[in-house]
Chain A
Amino acid sequence: MSILYDEGQEAIATESRRALEARMNKDDLLPLLQSSGKYHDGFWAMAKEQGWTALALPEEHGGLALGLVELGLIAHQAGRTLSGAPFLTSSFGVAKAIELYGSDAQKARWLPALAGGEAIGAVAFASGPAPLPEQPVVTLTDDRLDGVAAGVSGGLFADVALVFANGPGMPVLALADLSGVGRSVVESFDNSRCIADIAFAATPAETLVVGEAARAAALGILSLQAVVTAHEQTGGAEALMEVARDYAVTRKAFGQPIGAFQSIKHRIAELYGLVELARANCVHAASREGQPDFITAAAAARLSATEAYDTAARDCVQIHGGIGVTWEIGLHLHMRRARTLALEQGSSLFWEDVLVDRLAGEAA
């Protein structure tokens, strides 16, 4: 896979951007923050309509047989417009786990539904600060899950969960139908993520991978999701850099545009650097799917994208001055999303360790 987009890929970027810019606006997003447990229906409807949910899944299961590069392009555009629902990444992660480790029956049951967007997937790996804990709090005994998976993005509406659980003396990666589980909404600073605590109580689950291989498989899935998220973060950072630039050339102080002050223009130029480094790492990582260095590339993409989005959010608000902190202008939507995406799929602290373990030859 080349790191140079071809014509078809360029078209995907252009078309998804056009569609998203036409239908997403902050006035639809702001109310979601004050209502717990809602997502942007319009966004998800568009994702299904445009085939984004099917994009990177195999053809024989209702997918379009494209890959991480194409999904990344969509995620980048979705990030620019603050997507509106957390499922694009997690449904993809669940589907990839089923594709890689599932039985024919599991594939037949879930993949077409996930590809069509009728089913929503959630990923429950984390336990508090640990994205992939040594001892998961959810346990698997006799094909039944028990325990609470806390803070699962998209968990409120998910139909199927990919769970990293504590099996009998070893970790397992399991698949659980969520139709019967108890869930409670987590009130968050970014309520459109539909974050839930999922309470498993003797919930039937099917095992995908057992033992240390389960940890490796979970890290692989997390890395795939991290690359999609990194694209989304980079898109958000890019949009903020442009917003900051536009404001700096129009807003005047002391008789000139504030963008003429080096303290402002250099800040925006530094953002350009962060965005382009993140974009380059994202494109590279997407092109390495399935290769031995994929996790290293994913970690680098994740780290630079998180830095880009957080910094862009901080600096863009700062450059706007007072207007930047108002509810109405909506820059806080990006601030919230930057932090949410920084936590989903494991924080920078986690990915730094993953990366250094690999560079220092200490990989598990």
Chain B
Amino acid sequence: MSDLEAWRAKAAAWCESVVPQFGKAARKGLTVEEDLALGRRYQSAKFDAGFAGINWPTELGGQGLGHIEKITFEAEEMKHGFPNVYFGISLGMPVPVLMQFGSDREFVKERVIKALKGEEIWCQLFSEPSGGTDLAGLRTRAETDGNGWKINGQKVWTSWAQYSDYGVIVVRTDPTVAKHKGLTYFWVDMKAPGVTVRPIKLAGGDSHVNEVFFDDVKISDDHRMSPVGGGFAVALTTLMIERYVATDSAGFGPHLDLFVDLAKELTLNGKPAIEDGRIRQQIARNYAMRAGLDSINRRARLMMQAGMTPGPEGSLNKLVAVRSRQKLSELALDLQGTDAFLFDEHLSPKDDWATSWINAPTGRIAGGSDETLLNTIAERILGLPQDHRPDKGVPFNQIPA
């Protein structure tokens, strides 16, 4: 058994062992607050067992292992539906950025360990009503105020802000230069006076994203994590961190065998649905697509294991998988006919077709819409021209709103 296989076995065994405490059955019927509390206990147990911060430095509470060990653990973890979603953003981007750019190392160490144990949660304050995909178009501003800064403006789509202790934020500090040159990157205390968090209820019924308002929020200059005017580069670093995460070719929706089971149970025009050519074609096409993604992901893991950098084809997962999940979920509802009307928003999108269907659009938008991803593939991988950008090089305060 290779070292990695031994690691996988150890990870799988630990995950199995905590299923009674933290698995799907244990979470059933909990309110979000109860589930979050369970999640904090899960994160703490994970820390104690040596599975938190797997590829982070040991001096900051991590395990000092590689990225491959991290995604190997996550692949095992993903099988059980543990309450870890609250920490995904926190440990995925803001905390690694803090590790890299935070200047007060004692403070950094304390925050990182508390985040790893689930005691503190960080959010990422990037998107704004006027700057989502166009990140550099943001309008929240910070002005110098004594020996610190004063923040005013509004962020939106901020995941888990209502439960966050801290956040990283990009704001405009100079409106007289080209839009991406006037940005600066800070961290903020989410409990500071002037910070208001208002949850947004989404189509699927949950409220994990928020609007966050900043009214004269004062921060000292030691909260700054980039040079003044150098925030865009740090923001890009945030977005580039750990491009390879544990992916799911089902687009985080139901696995294809559930669809096959459904088609075997139900009839269509008096015949088993599994014998219907339209249904068969969708099963086959979806299988071929998902198998392709699985193979791409397996190859990426092997490459990382061999010390190589995986190819750019890893970027296809979200684009292709979530799109197909949306359509397959529609078809699953079609198959059930009016029986599909019965809806329970608390069911998991991983095994309920209606929940999968109503939440699929979020997956196609969050983290880059299909259109953004296609532009990225076209421009970064294939070398096609950039879109026309009339605001290029124009000082921010001269761009027509």
Contacts and interface: CB of A to CB of B under 8 A. Distances in A.
B267 to A, nearest CB: 15
Interface residues on B, range: 35 or more
Contacts of B338: none
A257 B374 CA distance: 17
Interface string A266-287: 1011101100111011011000
Interface in A234-281: 241, 245, 248-249, 256-257, 259-260, 262, 265-266, 268-270, 272-273, 276-278, 280-281
Contact of B374 (A248, A269, A278, A303): A269
Interface stretch (A127-135, A215-223, A335-343, A350-358): A350-358
A5 to B, nearest CB: 10
B384 A259 contact: yes
Nearest to B320: A273
A160 B367 CA distance: 56
8 contacts: A4-B302, A245-B383, A256-B385, A265-B375, A269-B375, A352-B284, A355-B283, A359-B260
Contacts of B287: 300, 355, 359
Contact of B283 (A245, A256, A283, A356): A356
B378 interface: yes
A329 interface: no
B288 interface: yes
Of the listed residues B285, B295, B306, B313, the one surrounded by the most CB atoms of chain A closer than 10 A to its CB is B295
A298 B387 CA distance: 39
Which 7 A-B residue pairings sit nearest by Cβ, starting from the closest? Answer: A277-B292, A352-B284, A280-B295, A260-B385, A265-B378, A276-B313, A269-B377
Interface string B250-276: 000000110010011000000000100
Interface in B50-72: none
Contact of A303 (B274, B284, B316): B284
Interface string B373-392: 01101110111111110000
Interface string A1-21: 011100000000000000000
A345 to B, nearest CB: 15
B256 A359 contact: yes
A349 to B, nearest CB: 8
Contacts of A304: 288-289, 292
Contacts of B303: 4
A360 interface: yes
Secondary structure dominating the interface of B: helix
A126 B193 CA distance: 77
Interface residues on A, range: 35 or more
B161 interface: no
A241 B378 CA distance: 11
B191 to A, nearest CB: 43
Contacts of A249: 383-385
A297 interface: yes
A272 B299 contact: no
B280 interface: yes
Contacts of B289: 277, 304
A360 B313 CA distance: 30
B155 to A, nearest CB: 28
Interface in A278-324: 278, 280-281, 283-284, 297, 299-301, 303-304, 307
Nearest to A302: B288
Given A276-B313, A360-B274, A268 B382 contact: yes
A260 B288 contact: no
B171 interface: no
Contact of B316 (A266, A273, A301, A360): A273
Of the listed residues A260, A297, A299, the one surrounded by the most CB atoms of chain B closer than 10 A to its CB is A260
B374 A270 contact: yes
Interface string B280-321: 110111011101110110110011001000000100100110
